[in-house]
């Protein structure tokens, strides 16, 4: 018994990924499994450790490919933004937006304002006393 998925099993995984892991039966049919047994066959395939391992490898490869593509897109986007920022014929708001985006991405984003609201409930324990009683308390505390 081999430690690796067969060519047909690998094709199933690739088809399964094309369907974004949402239609395992159709992936099995596309990989050459019998339409009558595709549902049960695909269910068994997805429990097979060799298939699971190959599926994980393919997902990692796809993620790496996607990151590579995004890297080139990000470089192109940066160039476009830089061109807008430097273009004196561009609208000021567009140039400012591009400049702010550069600053934000470089870690120079301004601190967001924080607003606080609420109340403070303070009760004055001396509010019920007369002026004379308050003076009496003040004099007694003066001597202590």
Is the pLDDT confidence value at 1 over 60?
no
Is the pLDDT confidence value at 138 over 90?
no
Topology of domain 7-105 in CATH is Arc Repressor Mutant, subunit A (1.10.10)
- Report phi then psi at 36, rounded to 5: -70, -35
In whole angstroms, give the CA distance from residue 85 to residue 97. 8
Element (DSSP H or E) covering residue 34: none
Specify the pLDDT at position 120.
79
pLDDT band at 13 (very low <50, low <70, confident <90, very high): very high
Token couple for 115: 């607003």
Is the pLDDT confidence value at 73 over 90?
no
More confident site: 2 or 133 = 133
In whole angstroms, give the CA distance from residue 30 to residue 43. 15
pLDDT band at 27 (very low <50, low <70, confident <90, very high): very high
Token couple for 42: 């695909």
Where are the domains positioned within the chain? Answer: 7-105
HEC per residue, 85-130: HHCCCCCHHHHHHHHHHHHHHCCCCCCCCCCCCCCCCCCCCCCCCC
User: In this predicted model, what pLDDT tens digit does every residue of 85-105 receive, in sequence order?
Assistant: 898 998 989 888 888 888 888
Specify the pLDDT at position 89.
92
Alpha helices in 7-48 (DSSP H): 7-18, 24-30, 38-45
């Amino acid at each position: 018994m081999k430690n690796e998925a067969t060519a047909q099993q690998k094709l199933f995984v690739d088809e399964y990924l094309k369907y974004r892991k949402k239609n395992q039966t159709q992936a099995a049919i596309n990989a050459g499994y019998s339409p009558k047994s595709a549902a049960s066959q695909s269910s068994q395939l997805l429990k097979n450790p060799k298939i699971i391992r190959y599926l994980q490898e393919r997902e990692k490869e796809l993620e790496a490919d996607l990151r590579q593509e995004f890297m080139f897109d990000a470089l192109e986007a940066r160039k476009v933004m830089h061109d807008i920022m430097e273009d004196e014929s561009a609208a000021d708001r567009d140039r400012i937006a591009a400049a702010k985006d550069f600053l934000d991405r470089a870690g120079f984003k301004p601190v967001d304002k924080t607003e606080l609201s609420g109340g403070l409930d303070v009760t004055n324990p001396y509010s019920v006393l007369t002026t004379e009683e308050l003076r009496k308390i003040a004099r007694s505390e003066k001597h202590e």
